[in-house]
Chain A
Amino acid sequence: MAEERFQVTRSKVNDFALKLANVNGTGSSSANNLLMRAIFRMGVPVSGKNLFPSNIQGLPTWYEIRVNKYGHVSRAREYDLMVAMNGQTYARDVAEVTSGGFTMYDSSWPLDRDLIREDVTYLGVPLAEMCNDEFKGPRERILMKNIACAGALVAMLGIDMEVIAQLLTEQFAGKEKLRESNQRALRLGHDYATSHFDYPLPCRIESMDATRGSILIDGNTAAALGCVYAGATVAAWYPITPSTSLMDAFAKYCAKFRRDPETGRNNYLVLQAEDELAAIGMVLGASWAGARAFTSTSGPGISLMQELLGMGYYAEIPAVIFDVQRVGPSTGMPTRVQQADILTCAYASHGDTKHVLLFPAHPAECFEMAPHAFDLAERFQTPVFVLSDLDIGMNDWVSPALEWDDSYVPDRGRVLDAGELRELEVFHRYEPADAESVAARTLPGVSELGAYFTRGSGHTIEGAYTEYPEEYQAVLDRLSRKHTAVAEHIPAPIVDDRAQAPLGIVTLGSCELAVLEAIELLGKREIAADYMRVRGFPFGAAVRAFLDAHDTIIVVEQNRDGQLRTLLTLETPVSKEKLRSVLAYGGYPLSAEDVVDGVTKIVEA
Chain B
Amino acid sequence: MPSIVKPVVTHPGLDRNALGLTIRDYEGGMSTLCAGCGHDSVTAAITHALWESDTPPHMIAKLSGIGCSAKTAAYFARGAHGFNGCHGRMPPIATGASAANRDLLCIGISGDGDSLSIGLGHLAHLVRRNVRMVYVIENNGVYGLTKGQFSASADVGSTTKRGEANHLQPIDPIFLGLSVGATFLARGFSGDKRQLVPIFRAAMAHRGLSVIDVISPCVTFNDHEGSTKSYLFTRQHDVQMTVTDFVPPAEEISATIPTEGVVSIPMHDGATLRFRSVPDGYDPTDRLAVMEHLMSARGRGEIVTGLLYIDEQSSDLHELGNTTEAPLTQVPYEKLCPGSAALAGVGFR
Contacts and interface: CB of A to CB of B under 8 A. Distances in A.
Contacts of B1: 465-467
A234 B99 contact: yes
Contacts of A274: 121-122, 124-125
A585 B71 CA distance: 47
B99 A291 contact: yes
A455 B129 CA distance: 25
A308 B89 contact: yes
A451 B81 contact: yes
B79 A403 contact: no
Contacts of B323: 265-269
A410 to B, nearest CB: 6
Nearest to B74: A453
A260 interface: yes
Contact of A265 (B3, B125, B325): B325
A443 B346 CA distance: 35
B74 A285 contact: no
A238 to B, nearest CB: 11
B61 A444 contact: yes
A290 B337 contact: no
A445 B58 contact: yes
Interface string A256-268: 0110100111111
Given A284-B93, A464-B3, A401 B121 contact: no
Counting chain B CB atoms within 10 Å of each CB, which of A216, A291, A445, A450 scores highest? A445
A465 B101 contact: no
Contact of B347 (A284, A399, A446, A453): A399
B95 interface: yes
A266 B324 contact: yes
Interface string A233-249: 11010000000000000
B336 A233 contact: yes
Contacts of A466: 1-3
Contacts of B73: 453
A405 interface: yes
Given A257-B342, A445-B61, A448-B57, A282 B95 contact: yes
Given A217-B346, A285-B100, A451-B78, A406 B339 contact: yes
A497 B122 CA distance: 52
A267 B347 contact: no
Interface in A461-476: 464-468, 471
Contacts of A236: 92, 96
A402 B347 contact: yes
Given A281-B93, A285-B93, A403 B343 contact: yes
A231 B82 CA distance: 25
Contacts of A296: none
A494 to B, nearest CB: 22
Interface residues of B, number: 64
B348 A286 contact: no
A231 B93 contact: no
Contact of B99 (A40, A279, A285, A308): A285
Scoring A265, A442, A444, A466 by chain B CB atoms within 10 A of each residue's CB, the highest score goes to: A444
A20 interface: no
B92 A267 contact: no
Contacts of A409: 333
A406 B99 contact: no
A160 to B, nearest CB: 16
Interface string B67-92: 00000011000111111111001011
B328 interface: yes
A37 B347 CA distance: 11
B340 A406 contact: yes
Interface string A205-236: 00000000001110001000100110111101
A396 interface: yes
A263 B325 contact: yes
Contacts of B338: 228-229, 253, 257
Interface string A386-413: 0000000000100101111110111000
Contacts of A40: 348
A286 B97 contact: yes
Nearest to B336: A231
Contacts of B97: 285-286, 288-289, 444
Contacts of B57: 448, 451
Contacts of B327: 445
Given A265-B323, A457-B84, A445 B101 contact: yes
B329 interface: yes
Contacts of A456: 84-86
B20 interface: no
B58 A293 contact: no
A234 B58 contact: no
A344 interface: no
- Which of A253, A281, A289, A406 has the most CB atoms of chain B within a 10 A radius of its CB? A289
Contacts of A260: 324, 335
A230 B122 CA distance: 29
A307 interface: yes
Nearest to A402: B343
- Ranked 4 nearest A-B pairs via Cβ: A285-B96, A215-B347, A281-B92, A448-B79
Interface of B: 1-3, 56-61, 63, 73-74, 78-86, 89, 91-101, 103-104, 121-122, 124-125, 129, 317-318, 321-325, 327-329, 331, 333, 335-340, 342-343, 346-349
10 contacts: A215-B347, A266-B323, A267-B323, A281-B91, A282-B96, A308-B85, A311-B86, A401-B346, A404-B340, A444-B58
Interface of A: 37, 40, 215-217, 221, 225, 228-229, 231-234, 236, 253, 257-258, 260, 263-271, 273-275, 277-291, 293, 307-308, 311, 396, 399, 401-406, 408-410, 442-448, 450-457, 460, 464-468, 471
